[in-house]
Amino acid sequence: MVKTGAQVLCECLIQEGVEVIFGFPGGVLLNLYDTFPQYPQLRHVLVRHEQCAAHAADAYARITGKVGVCLATSGPGSTNLVTGIANACLDSSPIVAITGQVATPFIGRDAFQEVDITGITVPITKHNYLILDVDNLARSVKEAFYIARTGRPGPVLIDIPKDILQAKTEAHYPDKIELLGSKTKLFGHPAQIKKAAELINAAKAPIIIAGRGVNISRAYDDLKELAEKAQIPVVTTLLGIGCFPETHVLSFGMLGMHGMAYANKGIHASDLVIAIGMRFDDRATGVIQTFAPNAKIIHIDIDPAEIGKNIRVDVPIVGDVKNILKALNEQIIPCEHLDWFRRLDQWRHDHPALEIRDAEGCLPQYVIRQIYEATKGDAVLVTGVGQHQMWAAQFFYYDKPNSLITSGGLGTMGFELPGAVGAQIGCPDENVWCIAGDGSIQMTIQELATIVQENLPIKIAILNNGYLGMVRQWQELFYQKRYVHTQLASPDFVKIAEAYGIPAVRAEKKIDVIPAIQQAMDYEGPFLIDFVVEPEENVFPIVPPGAALVEFLEIPKPKVQSIR
């Protein structure tokens, strides 16, 4: 049966199980948008900026485990996707970005709204396509989804010229494909797994670092089995949060620049580091030369390019985390490490990073803790980037798997609001909280309109300190308090929310916090709370740039005046 390229694309998406597309229309996509009503199975969510389409697709992919799809027109529409694509690339999120392109006769002639989006996105996609023949469209879509979800997940872009969407074809969607060089190693080498088991069984002070790979592989039970069987403490990366229950006795929180002091000290003193689905980025390791100086390293990851890239590795194991942990657990001998845990517990006692001081004002740490208490941990938190991201990582206990959705590798301000849209649409029954900074949310605040249009019951908590908080903190600690262009003249967020049709309240004191959170939770639709927090509150601990993990700064202790 003869069909247009637009019809072929829609039917290919349905074949791949796509239910939601986050997009924004434009001239070269009019044939596709005119075709959408023929396919009611495809839900189109109209975002208010193309960057937000990519972020929403990214968060949708993380929360559901499916491939997220975003759509933008040619020129500025496609370039607006770039930040979101780069974010998905660094955080290993499977998305397919579809862009419109000028008609094929005009490519390379600087036509209106023409950009070489495939050339632009080469460094930030696993692969990309420019479709020059409608007969190749179906196969390219099949390949794109396969590549996005296979191995280490990531973004793929398909650029489709206007005339290809209009052209006719009899092409059919292929049942399967085989790509040269695309074979992913799913099961670790038995000899390497045996070596790892031997090191674990012999270790006196082992520690596990669990990363996003555990969340991607959904290897929660397998990780827990390893930790409990061998009695090994578990720390996580920022994107690994939620892969191991944080109220578990073996949990020692997040490591790294703003990780727990006792987690960092544990890494430094360990004799064996078992790194699972993480890539040893600089925020996790501090100065590489000082990382785990006395430890042997086991590194489990599906991407062989990550093995040995940043940290020397004694036992590399390439494959899917879940499969490897299953095989590894069979060779683990149950044991205890009482002396090791005594040291770790002493460090936890000596460095109580999660204590919240008493204050009449609205402390951001207290806000996050009270959201945890009110939800009893049964929530998905989506954050932007800045101080609020770190407080959300530190003061909410993530026992629920995969319950923190945030921008890690790229550190993208503005991720929170469109990310919350994607997470809520992906899991409509989840209690989704958007944790925002007053600087971060203004990057993408227009998505309040999307929330209203889609009737999403997202709760939005703005930690409003009147600054670009994390940059201001660095200026305070490392630039002698020279605050240059970090103070914000923020708008009235309550009035802005109400202008979009979202009820909102402001909380300025400690006594306002719990009632405001409860009011938000009692309301069935979207709700915004503007928490006016202490303006110069800092995130601690912090590992200064160029320092080792154990060279952290903690909350300054109050000076005691002498009576003499």
Q: Which residues are catalytic?
A: 50, 112-113, 162, 470
Residue 69 and residue 71: Cα distance in Å, rounded? Answer: 7
Which residues, other chains included, contact 268 with Cβ-Cβ below 8 Å and sequence gap of 6+? 290, 292, 293, 548, 549, 550
For the chain, the C-alpha Rg in angstroms (whole number) is 24
Q: What is the number of other CB atoms lying within 10 angstroms of the CB of residue 182?
A: 13
Tokens of 85: 């694509």
5 half-sphere exposure, CB direction, 13 A CA radius = 25
Q: Do the beta carbons of residue 412 and residue 124 sit within 8 Å?
A: no
Which residues, other chains included, contact 437 with Cβ-Cβ below 8 Å and sequence gap of 6+? 384, 385, 386, 387, 388, 389, 413, 462, 463, 464, 465, 469
Residue labelled with tokens 């009449």:
360
Residue 367 and residue 364: Cα distance in Å, rounded? Answer: 5
Residue 321 and residue 153: Cα distance in Å, rounded? Answer: 13
Residue 73 and residue 113: Cα distance in Å, rounded? Answer: 9
Phi, psi of 169 (to 5 degrees): -155, 160
Q: Which long-range contacts (CB under 8 A, 24 or more apart) does 512-516 make?
A: 512/362, 513/362, 513/366, 513/367, 513/370, 514/370, 514/374
Which residues, other chains included, contact 204 with Cβ-Cβ below 8 Å and sequence gap of 6+? 271, 337, 339, 340
Q: Bridge partners of 21?
A: 44
Q: Do the beta carbons of residue 281 and residue 359 sit within 8 Å?
A: no
Cis peptide leading into 541, omega within 30 of 0?
Answer: yes
Name which of 527, 468, 467 is nearest 497 in CA terms: 527
Q: Identify the H or E element spanning 323.
A: helix 321-329
Phi, psi of 340 (to 5 degrees): -65, -45
Which residues, other chains included, contact 187 with Cβ-Cβ below 8 Å and sequence gap of 6+? 319, 320, 323, 324, 327
Name which of 67, 55, 74, 63 is nearest 113 in CA terms: 74
DSSP state of 122: G
Positive or negative, the CA dihedral 61, 62, 64, 65 is positive
* Cα pseudo-dihedral 146, 147, 149, 150, rounded to 10: 100
* Cα distances (Å, whole numbers) of residue 318 to 163, 181, 305, 476: 43, 16, 10, 43
Residue 143 and residue 166: Cα distance in Å, rounded? Answer: 22
